[in-house]
Amino acid sequence: MKVLLVYPEFPDTFWSFRHALAFEGKGSSFPPLGLLTVSALLPTEWERRLVDMNVRRLKKADIEWADIVFLSAMIVQKDSLEQVIRLCKAQGKRVVVGGPYVSTSTEQLPEADHIFVGEAEETLPEFVNDLKLGIARRIYKAAERPALNLTPVPHFQLIELSRYSAMSVQYSRGCPFNCEFCDIIEIYGRVPRTKTNEQMLSELDTLQNLGWRGQVFIVDDNFIGNKRNVKKFLPELIEWTERNQHPFLFVTEASVNLAEDDGLLEMMRRADFRRVFLGIETPVEESLKEAQKGQNTRRDLLQSVKKIQSYGMEVMAGFIVGFDSDPEDIFERQIDFIRESAIPLAMVGLLTALPDTQLWRRLAREGRLLKESTGNNTDGSLNFIPRMESARLIEGYQRILRTIYSPAEYYQRALDCLSRLAKDEREPHQGGVSSVISSLIALMRLMLTLGVRDCERLEFWRYVKSTLISHRQNFAHALTLAAMGYHLRKLTEEI
């Protein structure tokens, strides 16, 4: 059996970082971890090819080669997914689709031969057996959420590592909290399940042996959802990191209560965690309560951010406007909070009702749903009727973006962030001369674009000067922030 694994294209969004990736000459931030895991679950005798449409074009010859095509997608990839399905079906290929989109949008399933709803560790082997017997069903739905010790090491060897700016691994699924707008708890549940320490270290060994050095994104929606297991894993990760001369810098997502645990923060620092994404959402307590995000109401959010930053971890955070409880001055309050928190990468979005979430069901009962979400909460569109007048909400949202991503505002937050990060001279062991050359090329592209061609080049050079004076040890990180800020500004202009 010849299986073609295809990852549909992402539209250009804040999260794509397309303008920043161009400096590195990369095609995408991360590889398609779900499909790499699916590949590892398939029979060893099957032939495999993977096409990530975010780094290379899907060719007719790819489809012609295959006996069966597997796809996985999020809602934001819907249009590309449907286009690929049509291409494959036109060539008479059997098409299998799974992933978050079809797991939550069961009323609008694509025209595929087989659909996998939920996690596939147990249902995929069942499908393979049914396929051999000629009795494969259209819908496969996991009866229960599988233990992650069933999950094999993803087939990282299928990808061209040089096309990505970071690698990704998964430690856990699920989150103990109950946020109304979140689809993660609908897909993965509220009891966080984790891989074993041995599984995780085996995945890291695989990446290192393939030659990867640099950033690794632990894609968990809440890395500390199962604190007990995390605290057992981190000492082994620290030992592995030190034994292997610090090959990776880790990035992950966590809940704000991370700031309460100094022991956990110290272990993450020693393991080389350098960036953490937090779901802050809003500084308005009434809106947090409305969203059932009580975990954010029990602590000083600004102090929590500062505490995490003090352990050498840059905070990236999500913010939302559009809650029913948002006051008239919500836009100014969001801007002030983002400024005071020194969060350069502040991802602000409009509230969106994702399919099959508590928010979706409530708004449906209230007759306020308008359409399916695009999956991109930063495109300036609404899929429900808000309490605030829609035009005012959208205008205020756009004002936030124009303000926080303006060069002067953004660079100042980046400098403030660098001032809060604890000085840590450890850097990952980079790979050889080719890595140095790639870094120099990226630097030249960045300097040419932001320092010569950009109309805001004076702000950039002020930023570079301040960085060299006060944050020389973090100069490389400062330039990375400049590149990411450029992307956010360019997308804001397009919106």
Residue at token pair 């991109």: 376
Q: According to the model, what pLDDT value does residue 446 have?
A: 96
Residue at token pair 């286009």: 83
User: Strand 47-52 and strand 314-321: pairing?
Assistant: unpaired
* pLDDT, tens digit, 9 for 90 and up, residues 39-93: 999 999 999 999 999 999 999 999 999 999 999 999 999 999 999 999 999 999 9
3-state SS class at 71: strand
> Phi/psi at 312 (nearest 5 deg)?
80, 15
* pLDDT, tens digit, 9 for 90 and up, residues 342-355: 999 999 999 999 99
As given in the structure block, the two tokens for residue 60 are 């007719």
CB 422 within 8 A of CB 474: no
CB-based burial label for 339 (10 Å; 0-12, 13-18, 19+): middle
Domain 166-420 has CATH 3.20.20.70: yes
CB 315 within 8 A of CB 343: yes
Element (H, E) at 125: helix 123-133
* pLDDT, tens digit, 9 for 90 and up, residues 227-244: 999 999 999 999 999 999
Distance (Å, whole) CA 423 – CA 474: 8
Distance (Å, whole) CA 35 – CA 71: 8
* pLDDT, tens digit, 9 for 90 and up, residues 242-284: 999 999 999 999 999 999 999 999 999 999 999 999 999 999 9
Mean pLDDT of the chain: 95
Question: Percentage helix, strand, coil, to 5, in the chain?
Answer: 50, 15, 35
**For the domain 2-141, what is the CATH code?**
3.40.50.280
CB 174 within 8 A of CB 187: no
CA angle 10, 15, 20 (to 5 degrees): 100
As given in the structure block, the two tokens for residue 312 are 């050498």
Sign of CA dihedral 209, 211, 213, 219: negative
**pLDDT of residue 156 exceeding 60:** yes
Residues 350-363 as b/e (b if ≥16 CB within 10 A, e otherwise) read: bbbbbbbbbbbeeb
As given in the structure block, the two tokens for residue 1 are 């059996």
> Phi/psi at 385 (nearest 5 deg)?
-90, 115
Domain coordinates in residue numbering, the chain: 2-141, 166-420, 433-494
Q: According to the model, what pLDDT value does residue 438 have?
A: 84
Q: How confident is the model at residue 106 (pLDDT cuts 50, 70, 90)?
A: low
CB 76 within 8 A of CB 10: yes
C-alpha R_g of the chain: 22
Distance (Å, whole) CA 102 – CA 376: 16
CB-based burial label for 227 (10 Å; 0-12, 13-18, 19+): middle
The whole-model pTM stands at 0.95
Residues in the chain: 495
Q: Which of 213, 166, 199, 204 is nearest to 31 (CA)?
A: 166
- Between 75-79, 154-158, 308-312, 491-495, the lowest mean confidence (pLDDT) is in 491-495
Number of other CB atoms surrounding residue 456 within 10 Å: 15
What spatial distance separates the first Cα and last Cα of the chain, rounded to whole Å? Answer: 45
Q: According to the model, what pLDDT value does residue 379 have?
A: 85
